Amino acid sequence: MFAELVERSAARSGSWLCVGLDPRPEQIPASFGSTAHGMLRYVQWLVGETAPWAAAYKANLAFYLRWGPPGLRALQRIVECIHAEAEGPLILDAKWGDISSTAAAYAAAAERLGVDAVTCSVYMGEDAVTPLLAKGLFAFVLTLPSNPSSQEVVDHGHPPLYLKVTELAARLERERPGQVGLVVGATRPTAAGEVHRAAPHLPWLVPGVGPQGGQLAQVLEAAPSHVSLVNMSRAVAGAADPAVAARQLAQQIRAARERA
């Protein structure tokens, strides 16, 4: 299961870093070329450079769909590469969320790609999640997004919507232990603390550190003491030396967790 894969990978790497694999064309060195095959070779190289310090990887589906069918084939190869060479799990960041019949089709797609976990939205209620869980996937439920405009939606109501989502995710986790976590942005440490108090046992996937303005130390003070993967995409892929960047970020995350 995903949680066990993460625990083993974190123990091996001494890290809770999740490396984002979002191949933006402008970040791919010219030496790899401008084709889907070049993108594949670039991402495989990035995995090889960062594997010693990564507890997990996250691939945003949009950055592969933009290449069409070759991009999806490349994504499947990348999943295989991560499992074989990095010996870690891959999270497919698709933010799926639809009625149960469509969610079942999404789950079948995730199974064919071989990913270990997915991100999803629960605007459709539990119907959007349970088919994913039935396939044995781990679901990170979008709870507290990192982008500012999301507040217009997720802060609505009393209690706010993000706490209702937290309650739903906690109930689903009781029904499917070890298969549900939360996406909690680092840009909102106060709200993150409320989420943790509402469901202290759920693991987090934490985006928003770095270019989006999130402060690592602040959010980890509110984070669960167990699995909280901190995702870094541009801070690694955009670095002059991704291996050095991954090592430094892994060390910073470990130090912040120890202080929290």
Q: Which residues are catalytic?
A: 95
> Are 215 and 209 spatial neighbours (Cβ–Cβ below 8 Å)?
yes
Structure tokens at 41: 């070779």
> If you ran DSSP here, which 8-state letter would residue 18 be given?
E
Q: What are phi and psi of 176, to 5 degrees?
A: -130, 75
Whether 135 and 107 have beta carbons less than 8 Å apart is answered as: yes
Tokens of 129: 């999640």
Is 183 in contact with 143 (CB distance < 8 Å)? yes
Indicate left, alpha or beta for 26 from its phi (over 0: left) and psi (-120 to 50: alpha).
alpha
Contact 157, 135 (CB under 8 A): no
